Structure 1
């Protein structure tokens, strides 16, 4: 073989090997499963995707992400996760408690990384936080503990309120019932009646706010459910229309015109999700990856919203705030 032909053959072989390697890299597929719309699932996962890129997994280069959203119809989750299992994805990211339950029921071999406010041990997702066991691990937000603090904060802000509405979504996960029962007892202890409003979908929001006003609620707590995460603009508008002082679970509400928020930084939390996914893609087993707990909690007050509602924010509350939006 002539030297020129040899070089061409070698170059051709190298290119072929490079393409093969790229194809192998591109075969890593991650499924992202949520209870909301596909667009909302994609948007919520964005910080996790950014963290994956920092770890060397770039969508369109060596990573494919399949986004599945149930459009607030939780009974669709088993079919959606079955599709991901059939595609033999490298990992499944479950962005809600119900999505985690569906994924866990569908596979015991594919790594499942959850993002949830449900207690993952009490909900049966993992055996323990430090030693998850099985194929499931993820990021846990202290949802149960935070709802008591939100009640305290909105009561401090609207002390005359005798009835406070509580917006939540009923699920089949029984561990979510315990905090609600305890919250009722806490409210009774401070002389407040709680009006529980179960919202199954975005179409229920108008009716729920109307009922809150009709039954004399003087304040509102919005729980950390996916429906509320993905319908912020509508919820803020309804709270304003009904002149209902409302406390929310993430900063974005207050930044977008809501009165007050108390909860974790979701961007940081989703980056933690991305970090765990990246470690799973590198070969680490979920059973060896402790559940990460979000511990940084932010109190944000929108002073302009308070003024529009005729509320005077106590100086002590302003002093505790991480941020006051003027």
Structure 2
């Protein structure tokens, strides 16, 4: 069942002047205007399904709207493999390049790009809270050369799923990265939602993916929750194992993590999020100023369930939840 999300971004403001970049290519012509292909640098934090889907959705959105790869656009794709120092190096390299635009995927990658790249327009995606992360000045008016899309999901609805799956649950264990502002924001929202439902949130913070297994096993709770935290999701198998060992439900922040073994989520379509970001990038390439383009987010979320994962965790998914689901994985 699709859930509506509050819209923090509105339609982008139309500017009359062209946004000037330091490069010399003929941006805005696409593959049909006879100019040189647009050059776009992509900085991705790491290889996890949600971020890969975001990148693929972006490329698809560009291709279906006049910027086919190898014709209307050329990509310089670089992956930090979860290392912040590498993300910083990638951003520095892009800053001294002749790119027309930079696309940053995930909060740490976007933070590095925002700090390093001031002379090239930037779009980001899979960033939960861009203001708290210091990437933009405000949701409705980013204020510099950068804008994009947020992956802030319906955390309150996700926590409510735990109560539906385990009505007697009193405690929720959450594993998250202490160094990622997006994760801290989601944990705060999860705590508020748990309080409203009369439940207690127990936290296990990590500083590296290698710590996820121990953190998940250390939590003495009636259910587990994983937000859209790249470092934790990269080791989601360890959290799944902990939930199966403890025989408690695991609710997650994105549908890819349900496919990987979580029981349920109200999650975003990350490919569509990337596609949405591509449409913003095209507006910038064709003249709009990112400083005046509000940060956008998806307005609907999808209920995704994994029956086999639930069975392995000793959880029975209520029939009414199954009937309402957008996707049920057997």
The TM-score normalised by the length of structure 1 is 0.79
Cα distance in structure 2, aligned partners of 1:154 and 1:322: 18
Contact kept? 2:45, 2:87, Cα under 8 Å = yes
Partner secondary structure for residue 313 of structure 1 = coil
Contact kept? 1:81, 1:106, Cα under 8 Å = yes
Cα distance in structure 2, aligned partners of 1:232 and 1:48: 25
RMSD: 3.0
The partner residue of 2:255 within 242, 245, 251 is: 251
Distance 1:250 1:46, change over 3 A: same
- Superposed counterparts of 1:163-178, under 5 Å: 163-171=171-179, 173=181, 177-178=184-185
1:137 equivalent to 2:144? Answer no
Cα distance in structure 2, aligned partners of 1:94 and 1:300: 27
Measured against aligned partners, the alpha-carbon deviations of 1:4-49 in whole angstroms (never above 9, x if no partner) come to xxxxxxxxxxxxxxxxx999523x2211112214999656411111
1:76 equivalent to 2:86? Answer yes
Cα distance in structure 2, aligned partners of 1:222 and 1:198: 11
How many equivalent residue pairs?
Answer: 299
Structure 2 unaligned regions, length at least 5: 1-31
Higher share of residues assigned helix: 1
- Superposed counterparts of 1:18-29, under 5 Å: 25-26=36-37, 28-29=38-39
User: Which has the higher mean CA deviation after the structures are superposed, 75-84 or 178-187?
Assistant: 178-187
Residue in 1 that maps onto 2:58: 48
Cα distance in structure 2, aligned partners of 1:177 and 1:228: 13
The partner residue of 2:224 within 220, 223, 233 is: 220
- Superposed counterparts of 1:73-152, under 5 Å: 73-143=83-153, 146-152=154-160
Measured against aligned partners, the alpha-carbon deviations of 1:143-162 in whole angstroms (never above 9, x if no partner) come to 4xx22222221122112333
Residue in 2 that maps onto 1:67: 77
Cα distance in structure 2, aligned partners of 1:38 and 1:191: 33
Cα distance in structure 2, aligned partners of 1:256 and 1:177: 23
Cα distance in structure 2, aligned partners of 1:163 and 1:197: 13
Partner secondary structure for residue 25 of structure 1 = coil
Partner secondary structure for residue 310 of structure 1 = coil
Structure with max Cα Rg: 1
Offset of residue 286 of structure 1: 1.2
The TM-score normalised by the length of structure 2 is 0.78
Cα distance in structure 1, aligned partners of 2:307 and 2:180: 38
Structure 1 unaligned regions, length at least 5: 1-20
- Superposed counterparts of 1:148-167, under 5 Å: 148-167=156-175
Partner secondary structure for residue 290 of structure 1 = coil
Distance 1:116 1:253, change over 3 A: closer
User: Which has the higher mean CA deviation after the structures are superposed, 112-121 or 219-228?
Assistant: 112-121
Offset of residue 182 of structure 1: 5.0
